[in-house]
Amino acid sequence: MYVKNLWAPWRMEYVLGEKEQHCIFCPESHGRSDEERLILYRGELSMVIMNRFPYQSGHLLVAPWRHVPDLEGLTDEELLDLTKTLRRAIRVLEAEMNPDGFNVGINIGEVAGAGYESHLHYHVVPRWKGDNNFIAVFGETRVISEHIRASFEKLRVHYEKDGLNEGG
């Protein structure tokens, strides 16, 4: 039998690291900086954060600051702000990572896969032709091509350059 190795030593940070005890989308920092939390954008009503457990390099989460479980819980002002923040996240990913397309979606409810079911958030996943090859299909393994900190630094520049961060 031939055994193949897939090396991902950066995962040890997650395995041995401290697990998140608080809602990652709530404005309270619990003593952690926006950089530690991987927050790229902090607006008045919404935010953009890197997904710590990405499906793909550049996987972002866009969420309102207010704790609401679904779209019905948002005010019209929050919904508009959230949509504009989502649009900007896509533009930033296009500018920096040049993907061929995107998967954008919301998981509402635990059965739909919502890890934070009481705090609505969009997933924005950049996609490239051929990014899901045999390893995902046969090996049931994801290969993330770039370390999350490298993606964070590249994307953060776009938010800082445009003066979009309103705090934090």
Q: Is residue 5 part of a domain?
A: no
Contact 120, 106 (CB under 8 A): yes
Residue 124 one-letter amino acid: V
Residue 93 confidence (pLDDT) above 80: yes
Q: Is residue 71 part of a domain?
A: yes
Q: Is residue 10 part of a domain?
A: no
Calculate mean pLDDT across residues 63-91. 96
Count of domains for the chain: 1
Q: Is residue 2 part of a domain?
A: no
Q: Is residue 13 part of a domain?
A: no
Q: Which domain holds residue 40?
A: 25-161
- Identified catalytic residue from 22, 30, 59, 121: 121
Q: CA separation (Å) from 80 to 40, 83, 88, 132?
A: 19, 5, 12, 33
Contact 128, 99 (CB under 8 A): yes
Q: Is residue 82 part of a domain?
A: yes
Higher model confidence: residue 12 or residue 82? 82
DSSP of 45-59, one letter per residue? Answer: SEEEEE-SS-SSTT-
Q: Is residue 139 part of a domain?
A: yes
Question: Among 119, 29, 36, which Cα is nearest to 71's?
Answer: 119
Residue 30: pLDDT band (50, 70, 90) is confident
How high is the pLDDT of residue 168? 46
What SS3 state is found at 119?
A: coil
* Phi and psi, residue 103, nearest 5°: -105, 125
Q: Is residue 39 part of a domain?
A: yes
Task: Please state the pTM of the whole predicted model.
Answer: 0.76
What does the alpha-carbon distance between residue 88 and residue 105 come to, in Å, rounded to a whole number?
15
Q: Provide the CATH number for the domain around residue 47.
A: 3.30.428.10
Active site includes 121? yes
Give pLDDT tens digits for 133-157. Answer: 555 555 566 667 788 888 899 999 9
Sheet bearing 39-42, strands edge to edge:
39-42, 46-50, 60-64, 122-127, 101-106
- Altogether, the residues listed in the chain come to a count of 168
What does the alpha-carbon distance between residue 58 and residue 74 come to, in Å, rounded to a whole number?
26
What does the alpha-carbon distance between residue 81 and residue 88 come to, in Å, rounded to a whole number?
11
